[in-house]
Structure 1
Amino acid sequence: MNESTVILVLSCLGVAQALFLCTYLFTLKKGSRPANIFLAFVILGLTIRIGKSVLNVYLELDPWQRNLGISGILLTGPFLWMYGRALLTEKKHFHLKDFLHVFPFLLFAIFSFVIPNDGSFWGYAVYILVFVHLAVYLVLSFSLLNRFGNEVHPQKSKWFRNLVIGVFLIWLFYMGNLAGLISFYIGGALFFSLLIYIFSFLFLQKHAFQLGKYNASTLDKTRSKQLIDSIKSMFAKEELFLDSTLSLESVAEKLNTTPRKLSQAINQNEQKNFSDFVNGYRIEKAKNLLQNPKYKREKIVTIAYDCGFGNVTSFNLAFKAKTHRTPSQFRDSTPPANFSS
């Protein structure tokens, strides 16, 4: 078996593995359904692009076929960003306007027959614009990490960071090839194959860990119910959730239990993680303040801080996810409550 055959086999295996992972994600019912679908489209977009690279080396492709392969990049960027939003902000509701980000991909795919891909100036210009488009979404994705990475479980932020870096490295490879700095064109497909195997292993390992994470726990249902009742009572009396630095560890210490057991109790009884559970109380507090005539002229950012949120962006996202309205919309559409002095 010569070198070119080995490269072809490895590249094809990477594409096949990527398609398998896409199918798995599209049919996966556990976890966040939107996040799974968005990640599937990220991988599908890269697979379309890398698949074109493999075919282009060994077959004579028409310009429109090469354009269809390039269009995968226009799919990757928007869905990488939307995946980050679903994963890091735990946004569960997406609107039609969110999918306008996919419009460039649809246009490019539809007009692939007329878009130049012949080595001309305009052909290179289009190619560069496609990768600039991906660069914009890479910046937006890194921005999501900077903004929300510290507010979610470290495993989530680390996983998304590695995914963004992987996509960035693929982008960097093709930019290097375009600039003439990297001559090994099929190397992008080989690198993609390596990344896909790594991501598949990490992703499946992550889900396997999540599915069995309470198997060895000594917390029974009775104690679990007692813990959730205790934290609800504590939150009602002391309003600990108003502290923006509140952590799972500090609450567990107050309840004389371990963070792991407290997290399990919240997850099993409320089907939420600690962050969502705490934010639920903060949002209810915010709703009361927004209906309070005394707070009618108060700025939204002040209410966010008064309710325990660390920043107004997190407050707006959490509030809208819970009520389907922004805090301002809620205030304007809800009649003031009758608060006794």
Structure 2
Amino acid sequence: MLTNNIILILASLGLFQGIFLSIYLFTHKTGNKKLNVYLSLILLGLTIRIGKTILSYYMPLEAWQMNIGISGIFIVGPFLWLYGITLLKENKTLRHSFYLHLLPFILFISFVTIIPSKGDFDTFWNYGLVVLHLAIYLVISWVTLLKNGSKITLKKSKWYRSILIGVTSVWVYYLGNFLNYELHYIWGPIFYSFLIYAFTYLILNRNNFGLEKYDSSTLDRNNSEILFEKIKNLIEKENLFLQPTISLKTVSDKLSKNSREVSQSINENAQQNFREFINHYRIEKAKSLLNNLENKERKMAVVAYDSGFGTVTAFNVAFKKITGITPSAYRG
């Protein structure tokens, strides 16, 4: 009994978190509104499906109630695919033909009272069609990612891949349940609970994937990598990092690029902001000075200034952050 109560609590927490996250995304005003709505509907569909599993495990449900829960899967597939093509093929408008993809959901929900849901042969095949429906959209979505992933930023590609992995994992579990009727049935919602918390963390930290920060950017992954090579060549050739007042605008102007694109390129390819990127060069310069025996008696302030830092404090903080030790400890 205690174990069942713990399982119920864990599964219910995931269910309520899924509902909260769906509402949060649907009402979220920043970033790409369309993507937020699509992701909200994906999570809503999964939550409806998981909710059915939790309720049916602890109480008897009518056939129509079971079918309403199963219908959630018919929402997930189409919006998972739509989310992908909107994210990967940026600025793509929604065509009216897309609504045909929702026809299975509309038909299923319209006949919930007559669709069998009693664990018999007919139910087995109806459930199988639901599993197959999501499988088709998963395949289409993965193919869409493979074909278009290289055309967008690496972080957006990773973000969509994370979503696909999560939904695929849920599908694999229910496929196993379909092939082995009610084998560890309740563990699906528990797995979903952990998955939904992982999604919550990722969604609340979406700037780490560049989803909102560079939402309107036209700089794709290939051009981002090309620009990054130009940035590195410029900084290394002209030793720009040795200038204490070097700024993002200075580098952007020299490359005849806007600051937003330069910042995006550095962030995506070096996983650093502009200041961290420049400090990396400065610390490498400082390390070479500290390793030189001729500079053994040179004061740290001189090393800091000769490396491009404007203050000794900034030098010490950056050195410790990048190397893990202080400049004095490094010199030995």
Q: TM tier, shorter chain?
A: 0.5 to 0.7
In the other structure, the counterpart of 2:228 is 249
SS of structure 1 residue aligned to 2:91: coil
Give the drift of 1:101: 0.8
Residue 38 (str. 1) matches residue 51 (str. 2): no
**In the aligned structure 2, how far is the partner of 1:210 from the partner of 1:246?**
15
Alpha carbons 2:49, 2:69 under 8 Å: kept: yes
**In the aligned structure 2, how far is the partner of 1:212 from the partner of 1:87?**
11
Alpha carbons 2:155, 2:210 under 8 Å: kept: no
Give ranges in structure 2 of 5+ residues lacking alignment. 215-219, 241-246, 266-332
SS of structure 2 residue aligned to 1:247: helix
**In the aligned structure 1, how far is the partner of 2:27 from the partner of 2:7?**
31
**In the aligned structure 2, how far is the partner of 1:100 from the partner of 1:54?**
30
**In the aligned structure 1, how far is the partner of 2:88 from the partner of 2:97?**
20
In the other structure, the counterpart of 1:4 is 4
Give the drift of 1:265: 2.1
Residue identity (%): 41
TM-score of the superposed pair, with normalisation by structure 2: 0.66
Q: 1:141-172 CA deviation, whole Å, 9 max, x = no partner? A: 10011011122122111111111111111111
Give the drift of 1:245: 9.3
Alpha carbons 1:249, 1:259 under 8 Å: kept: no
In the other structure, the counterpart of 2:116 is 116
Alpha carbons 2:207, 2:213 under 8 Å: kept: no
In the other structure, the counterpart of 1:286 is none
Give the drift of 1:99: 2.1
SS of structure 2 residue aligned to 1:29: coil
Residue 104 (str. 1) matches residue 82 (str. 2): no
In the other structure, the counterpart of 1:18 is 18
**In the aligned structure 2, how far is the partner of 1:264 from the partner of 1:172?**
45
Give the drift of 1:264: 6.8
Give the drift of 1:254: 7.6
**In the aligned structure 2, how far is the partner of 1:83 from the partner of 1:7?**
32
Q: 1:59-108 CA deviation, whole Å, 9 max, x = no partner? A: 11000000000000010011001011111112341122112211111110
Going from structure 1 to structure 2, the CA distance change for 1:129 and 1:209 (only over 3 Å counts) comes to: closer
Larger radius of gyration: 2
Residue 52 (str. 1) matches residue 52 (str. 2): yes
**In the aligned structure 1, how far is the partner of 2:205 from the partner of 2:44?**
21
Give the drift of 1:41: 0.5
Residue 265 (str. 1) matches residue 244 (str. 2): no
Residue 134 (str. 1) matches residue 134 (str. 2): yes
In the other structure, the counterpart of 1:318 is none
Paired residues, what number? 244
**In the aligned structure 1, how far is the partner of 2:163 from the partner of 2:211?**
22
Alignment of 1:1-341 (within 5 A): 2-180=2-180, 183-207=183-207, 247-252=226-231, 262=252, 265-266=259-260
